[in-house]
């Protein structure tokens, strides 16, 4: 069985080292030459059918990660862009910030992640280093209102990006890091060009920008836009990189185009309705939780809940193995 995702190699590593193997989420599997059947009083299920997506799949827990995928809230570019695609070419939308409606969307998603208990489960928040995604990330997953403390930096200063919002605390929230790999479609559209990292560090003091190599935006080009295939390849590189992280439950705040082109590679072995559920376009500030599975031993995490048994040791030959050994004699 092999994964049929093809990991292309964009010219830039976007400041991160990624393993050479594509994320080990099964897409297709060749049919088996033999289809043993599990027989129950009222059920007959071909084992091969279960492997081919017709039934449930089973994987070791320590080879899985839970991803909570979030598209940023409404930005100023979305308002006109929804009416006229050419509006995305306007220089006035450079590194677009959230609208007042977008901040309302942030507040509502924040209420959801608190009420559902999700915030307490998240080990890490990864955000695209653009103003609208970082505003969304700190607004949804950040701490409460900030009070001046010499030993604690705020996640966001007051009125960052013309938000009209109070400063946001970095207390009692997961760490937030900025990663270039999960940026939106690169090139041409000014809304997708970022500011200098030094500018962001002033606006978002407690966000970790250490994985970004260049202060200036060297990835965005005014006259060249990434192809859909290049965005998808960058998305797969990002998925590979996630396996180098120790965190098991990760929130990712990113963009519609990046999510759509990345997720389209997945779910080909699922029921069509599940494929649609995985790949459909995200609404502003939508959160969708998914699991990725390491089937090619890319990750190195050891199981934390498994127990070896046989402590203290003693004879433990199962009866079915005994019967098999007896029949061979």
Give, as one character, the DSSP assignment of residue 54. I
Burial class (CB in 10 A: 0-12, 13-18, 19+), 301: middle
Catalytic sites, residue numbers: 72, 184
User: Is 207 in contact with 127 (CB distance < 8 Å)?
Assistant: yes
List the beta bridge partners of residue 185. none
Scored b (16 or more CB within 10 A) or e, 123-145 reads: ebbbbbbbbbbbbbbbbbbbbee
Nearest to 183 by CA among 156, 224, 229, 217: 217
Count helices and strands (H / E) in the chain: 10, 9
Tell me phi and psi for residue 41, to 5 degrees: -50, -40
Place of tokens 């043993």: 36
Distance between CA atoms of residues 156 and 184, nearest Å = 22
Q: Are strands 249-254 and 176-178 parallel, antiparallel or unpaired?
A: unpaired
Place of tokens 């976007």: 14
**What count of other Cβ atoms lies within 10 Å of the Cβ of residue 243?**
21
């Amino acid at each position: 069985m092999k994964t049929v995702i093809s990991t292309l190699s964009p010219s830039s590593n976007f400041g991160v080292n990624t393993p050479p193997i594509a994320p080990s989420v099964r897409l297709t599997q060749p049919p088996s030459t033999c289809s043993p059947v599990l027989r129950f009083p009222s059920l007959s299920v071909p084992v091969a059918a279960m492997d081919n997506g017709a039934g449930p799949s089973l994987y070791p827990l320590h080879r899985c990660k839970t991803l909570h995928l979030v598209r940023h809230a409404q930005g100023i570019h979305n308002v006109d862009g929804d009416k006229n695609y050419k509006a995305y070419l306007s220089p006035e939308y450079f590194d677009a910030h959230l609208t007042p409606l977008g901040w309302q969307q942030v507040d509502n998603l924040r209420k959801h992640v608190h009420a559902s208990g999700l915030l307490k489960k998240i080990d890490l928040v990864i955000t695209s280093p653009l103003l609208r995604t970082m505003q969304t990330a700190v607004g949804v997953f950040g701490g409460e209102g900030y009070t001046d403390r010499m030993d604690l930096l705020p996640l966001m200063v007051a009125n960052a990006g013309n938000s009209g919002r109070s400063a946001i605390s970095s207390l009692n929230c997961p760490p937030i890091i900025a990663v270039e790999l999960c940026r939106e479609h690169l090139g041409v559209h000014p809304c997708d060009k970022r500011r200098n990292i030094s500018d962001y560090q002033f606006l978002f003091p407690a966000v970790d920008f250490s994985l970004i190599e260049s202060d200036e935006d060297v990835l965005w080009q005014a006259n060249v836009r990434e192809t859909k295939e290049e965005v998808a390849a960058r998305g797969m590189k990002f998925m590979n990189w996630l396996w180098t992280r120790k965190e098991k439950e990760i929130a990712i705040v990113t963009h519609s185009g990046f999510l759509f082109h990345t997720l389209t590679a997945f779910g080909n072995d699922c029921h069509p309705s599940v494929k649609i559920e995985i790949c459909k376009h995200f609404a502003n500030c939508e959160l969708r939780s998914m699991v990725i599975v390491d089937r090619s031993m890319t990750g190195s995490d050891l199981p934390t809940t498994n127990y070896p048994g046989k402590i203290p040791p003693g004879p433990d030959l199962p009866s079915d193995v005994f019967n098999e050994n007896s029949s061979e004699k």
